[in-house]
Amino acid sequence: MTQAKRGITAEDLYQMRYASDPQLSPDGKTLAYVENLIDVSHAYQNQLYLRKLDTDDPQPLTSGSRDTFPRWSPDGSKISFVSNRSGKPQIWLIDANGGEARQLTRCKNGVSNPTWSPDGTYIVFSSILDEGETFADLEGTEEKENAKAIHVGRMKYKSDDLGFIYEKNKQLAIVHVETGEVTPLSDGPYNHTIGSWSPDGKWLAVTANRAEDPDFQHSVDVFLIPSEGGEWKKLTNSKGIFAYPTWSHDGEKLAYIGSELDTHLYAAQKRIWVYDFEKGDYTCITADWDVQVGDSTIGDMRSPGHPNPGAVWTADGRGMYFIASERGNSGIYHVTLDGQVTSVAAGNRNIYGFSLHENEQTVVAAISDPFTPGDLYQVSLKDGEEKRLTAVNEELFAGIELPVPEEMEFVAKDGWKLHGWMLKPVGFEEGKKYPMVLQIHGGPHSMYGNTFFHEFQLLAAKGYAVLYTNPRGSFGYGERFVQACCGDYGGNDYRDLMTAVQYACDHFDFVDEDRLGVAGGSYGGFMTNWIVGKTNRFKAGVTDRSICNWVSFYGVSDIGYFFTAEEIQANPFTNPEKMWQHSPIRLVENIETPLLIMHGEHDYRCPIEQAEQLYVTLKHQGKAPVSFVRFPGASHELSRSGDPRQRVLRLQYTTDWFDSYLTLDKKVKITE
């Protein structure tokens, strides 16, 4: 007798895993990858594995608890990786056949992004250095925090992912693999990011904002650095934001991904550019292809910023493979130098990484879908045939029912085509009415899609229908669509969402129109605040890491002063009225919807003062039930990579709040 499956729970997070960062050996026979999990103490772990492609038996490569970023030496004899086993994340080396790992760097603030030189002699890496620090400062020499004054002299003195950075900058260096000798490559008040080595090992392609005033000039250029020191060469013209430079195998061209700044900073669609060294100029080879390059899919299992392969050249130098995002899916595409784009590994899923086999016939891809947080697959680039290489949640998910999202297309009031999904409740019964929760993504320039979303599946397990859509402002539907919300927050984007709700109520007879909820985080939190200030149609709302006041956001967010310039198209000095017009807090006297406010206390992207303003004004109005939950130590990334215990609590608060106002008995105790 088959045992009945259960719905997913918030606590299942502790058992969920996902695989990432696949790296094929130079001969294409062995795969190195990372398995990400949460241990019994509710702490994150990252473990490295090796797997022969002709076997089904992956083997642990290392014994550390936070080992990431495996990279093969060019001859395939060694693997470098980043581990915090000594304290800070440092480069370690291990023989590909196993054995004891050897520590290579001992930088005071740790390292990131190690990349081998073509001859295997050196590894280039980056490290964050404070003013006056050098690569000679060793780990373990950190001074204890004391009650000193800190002088701030620049605008960008804090960052949501790094905290207060003051005068810190990301610098580059190379380390000799045998001796451990470190040679600095960069300095100055600039942040530098590693790209790749030239095939002859003489040059490094890197990206950096080395503008005269990087606080106000946002261009990120591509530079060439002589690997043995010398004068830098600037390849781009300070009119764009570029990343992930990769060399063609013959060294004659360099590809990179990015966008020009002539129209937008955040809402510009990323494209592929190629610099031709013979011509001394660069062109955009995907200019006529109106699709976002890169993975823009948003979920709640991985933070943005996981390793990106960039544009991976074919051996003949005539084209490259890359990831792009379209209509809720991210897949692998091929583009020729004359701009002909072909989909080679697509489908209703989220590909978030890949490694190209040396035969260029297959890739190993990291793939998520609505039923899988993330596994690795070997995919043929010729016929699409797939072989699953990992099944890291097989045992856990064997007993869990995960509803299938139903895709929906509908039309906005002004004729724009819109796209979304409906998730039915677990144990769905025909003829029965269910409460529905509208979910709104952050960004706003990202997209919901065919990836795993724990929160959505949890709401479905609790008996809710879940509606999630991509209103204008989302990536995946062309550049005009993604830029359409700029200067119009709370305008047509709001109307798109209300159209989606009405479409769902009209076309899904199981939706109970009298029991609607709304939830969202970041921009989705802004929109939740806006919606409950505009309509009383929703019986409960959950606003997470939200924005309510653009005037104060300008001065307190780590991106406020330039984000508002593009997205709201206003500032507090020349047109404060426009900032106020788009601020949900001005609508607070209209709010009668019970609202749960959740916020991380160390959120520097949407600082907690936004939640405090909203909470105090709602309490003062006294028209609607309101509750405020603060998460100590949590950043803007709480829902995806925050403390696992806080992530579980956040999910429990969310479902308890909706249970209190949307279920028929409404006798649910809010999580303490």
Q: Catalytic positions, please? A: 522, 636
Distance, in Å, from the CA atom of 546 to the CA atom of 529, rounded to the nearest integer, reads: 8
- 661: Cβ–Cβ under 8 A, 6 or more apart, which residues? 517, 539, 540, 594
- Return the SS3 of 620: helix
Q: Are 123 and 104 in contact (CB under 8 A)?
A: yes
What is the radius of gyration, based on Cα positions, of the chain?
A: 25
Distance, in Å, from the CA atom of 228 to the CA atom of 225, rounded to the nearest integer, reads: 8
Q: Are 258 and 281 in contact (CB under 8 A)?
A: no
Q: Quick one: which of 136, 95, 88 has its CA closest to 110?
A: 88
Q: Are 444 and 671 in contact (CB under 8 A)?
A: no
Q: Quick one: which of 619, 622, 671, 626 has its CA closest to 650?
A: 671
Q: Quick one: which of 220, 366, 363, 257 has its CA closest to 306?
A: 366
Distance, in Å, from the CA atom of 124 to the CA atom of 630, rounded to the nearest integer, reads: 40
Q: Are strands 417-423 and 465-469 parallel, antiparallel or unpaired?
A: antiparallel
- Written as six digits, the tokens of 18 are 């996902």
Distance, in Å, from the CA atom of 294 to the CA atom of 314, rounded to the nearest integer, reads: 18
Q: Are 518 and 533 in contact (CB under 8 A)?
A: no
- Give the Cα-Cα-Cα angle 525, 528, 529 (nearest 5 degrees): 90
Cis peptide before 444 (omega within 30 of 0): yes
First to last CA, the chain: 39
What one-character-per-residue DSSP string does 437-495 give?
Answer: EEEE-SSSSSB--SS--HHHHHHHHTT-EEEEE--TT-SSS-HHHHHTTTT-TTTHHHH
Q: What H or E segment, with its residue span, contains residue 299? A: none
**What is the CB neighbour count within 10 angstroms for residue 37?**
17
Distance, in Å, from the CA atom of 467 to the CA atom of 514, rounded to the nearest integer, reads: 15
The single residue listed with the structure tokens 């070997």 is 378
Q: What is the DSSP letter of 501?
A: H
Helices (H) and strands (E) in the chain, counts: 11, 39
- 659: Cβ–Cβ under 8 A, 6 or more apart, which residues? 462, 666, 668
**What is the CB neighbour count within 10 angstroms for residue 589?**
12
Give the 3-state secondary structure percentages of the chain, helix then strand then coil, rounded to 5. Answer: 15, 35, 50
Q: Are 62 and 46 in contact (CB under 8 A)?
A: no
- Written as six digits, the tokens of 200 are 């002859």
- Written as six digits, the tokens of 320 are 């490259």
Q: Is 180 left (phi over 0), alpha (psi -120 to 50) or beta?
A: left
Burial call 67-96: b when 16+ CB within 10 Å, e when fewer = bbbbbbbeebebbbbbbebeebbbbbbbeb
Q: Quick one: which of 269, 267, 271 has its CA closest to 256?
A: 271
